[in-house]
Amino acid sequence: MLKTVLSLLLLLAALAARSQNSAYPDSALLDSLLRTNPALARVLNRSATYQLQIIYTQINRDAQNVPHFTRHTYHVNPQQYFNPASLVKLPTALLALEKIHALPPIITKSTIMSTGVAWRCQTPIPFAAPADSDRQATVGNYIKRMLLVSDNLAYNRLYEFIGQQSLNQRLQQLGYPGSRIVRRFAPCDTAANRHTNPVAFHTLTGDTIYKQSAQTNARTPTPPLGPVFAGRAYKVGDRIIHRPYEFTTANNLPLPDITNLLQTALFPESIPTNSRPQLTPADYSFLRQYLHLTPHSSHFSAYTLTKYFDAYKKYLYYGRLPEAQPQPGLRIFNIVGMSHGYLADVAYFADSLHQSEFLLSAVLYVNQDGIINDANYEYDTIGEPFLAQLGQLFYQYEAQRPRRYRPDLTLFFQPD
């Protein structure tokens, strides 16, 4: 009995040590800056309840305009689960572009792609060549839809194009052992998500250029955090199940990982070659363009100002207010996530007015009643206002922060 108790105590101590070691140290600078804005106090004073994590990255250029990154963290812990929701669309976009280059050279991100069906919980996208090129089913258009309005169906098509096994193997190779992308955004079970559809690429007249067979991952990648539960209950239809909701088999993308992936997309040369996908300068230019554009400014014909307002997915700085007006000289390159009460935004700010730049990532949990899937989350009353105030705080701080060399931001202000 005593031996069992001792073993249990040692296990608990080991788990506590792992949790402590996995947490990033809090930055004194970041902590002091956060305390200067009283509007943030509601969340900061209950940061554990809101499961708040923040990463602020200073960027200082040298005389040759090469950026150097200094990361400051607040309550960041990769072992603390949060549902990444649409954040997974950025690594999926990166790896879809990389995979295009592994296909015959005639295939590009603008080649029409059809999607077939080979297993349950799969949906087809037959070949079509509409006159409006924006409405064609292509890898490029799927990425545009994901980055402009966080389109879930577009993500599903690229998840299926890459395949679950290849997607996760490549993440591991790039140095993200804690990240795992194993789900479509659809009501598919774990086994169904291991099976991905056959796809084909076509000429404008419908001739098939290339076929990719249906793919199957023999086993779902191991959950990096072990069993994961959240909330005190969850809703199924009209019923409330009085036990925590399980996220063990869900996607996982720690905040440091998605921050690194955004840095990879925008500053590829700052990342070691073996830690970034094999993309071309044209790929990176394409990503920069659609990471910053709003639905309306993109002139992408599938979207209109009435349905998708300019602040639709720019939570940091603008919140999510339809009436928000763009800040002159400011471009925000970002990816967001919103699901199950978790709200996240991972962004790079480029300010031509003050010649400043920085990276800011944040996630918080706004679910006061503790019930998952009841749609009763405080996104608009707590989460989005907090993120807006947070982004504005660092925008103002960076506008005044002394720099030895002012950045040349020409790359990030190319005409769209």
In this predicted model, what pLDDT tens digit does every residue of 47-85 receive, in sequence order?
999 999 999 999 999 999 999 999 999 999 999 999 999
Average pLDDT over residues 393-412: 97
The string of pLDDT tens digits covering residues 180-203 is 999 999 999 999 999 999 999 999
Q: Is the pLDDT of residue 46 over 90?
A: yes
List the structure tokens of 196. 């991905």
| C-alpha–C-alpha distance, residues 372 and 339, integer Å | 10
SS3 57: strand
Q: Is the pLDDT of residue 18 over 60?
A: no
SS3 240: strand
Per-residue model confidence (pLDDT) at position 304: 67
410's CB contacts (< 8 A; 6+ apart) are none
Per-residue model confidence (pLDDT) at position 224: 93
The string of pLDDT tens digits covering residues 90-116 is 999 999 999 999 999 999 999 999 999
- Name the DSSP letter for residue 125: B
| C-alpha–C-alpha distance, residues 391 and 347, integer Å | 9
In Å, how far from its chain's centre is CA 16?
28
Rg of the chain over Cα atoms, rounded to whole angstroms, equals: 22
Quickly list H helices, 183-293: 190-194, 255-266, 281-292
- Candidates 351, 331, 249; CA nearest to 288 is 331
Average pLDDT over residues 370-395: 96
Q: Are 405 and 65 in contact (CB under 8 A)?
A: yes
Q: Where are the beta strands (DSSP E) in 181-242?
A: 195-196, 199-202, 208-212, 215-216, 229-230, 233-236, 239-241
Per-residue model confidence (pLDDT) at position 342: 98
- Candidates 124, 196, 138, 142; CA nearest to 167 is 196
Average pLDDT over residues 83-90: 98
Torsion angle of alpha carbons 269, 273, 274, 275, nearest 10°?
Answer: 0
85's CB contacts (< 8 A; 6+ apart) are 337, 338, 339, 340, 342, 344
The model's confidence at residue 302, banded by pLDDT at 50, 70 and 90, is confident
Q: Is the pLDDT of residue 16 over 60?
A: no
Q: Are 46 and 195 in contact (CB under 8 A)?
A: no
SS3 374: coil
Per-residue model confidence (pLDDT) at position 3: 40
Per-residue model confidence (pLDDT) at position 299: 86
Domain ranges of the chain: 25-413
What sign does the dihedral 211-118-165-253 (CA atoms) show?
A: positive
C-alpha count within 13 angstroms, C-beta hemisphere, residue 133 = 7
- As a whole-number percent, the residues of the chain with pLDDT over 70 amount to 94
Q: Which CATH class is domain 25-413?
A: alpha beta
The string of pLDDT tens digits covering residues 222-259 is 999 999 999 999 999 999 999 999 999 999 999 999 99
Helices then strands, counting H and E runs in the chain, come out as 12, 15
The model's confidence at residue 86, banded by pLDDT at 50, 70 and 90, is very high
Helix (H) or strand (E) holding 375: none
Partner residues linked to 372 by β-bridges: 234
Average pLDDT over residues 18-39: 83
List the structure tokens of 19. 């949790």
The string of pLDDT tens digits covering residues 119-131 is 999 999 999 999 8
Q: How many CB atoms lie within 10 A of CB 135?
A: 14
The model's confidence at residue 310, banded by pLDDT at 50, 70 and 90, is confident
- Name the DSSP letter for residue 169: H
Q: How confident is the prediction for the chain on average, in pLDDT?
A: 93
In Å, how far from its chain's centre is CA 272?
21
Burial 374-411 (b: 16+ CB within 10 A, else e): eeebbbeebbbbbbbbbbbbbbebbeeeeeeeebebee
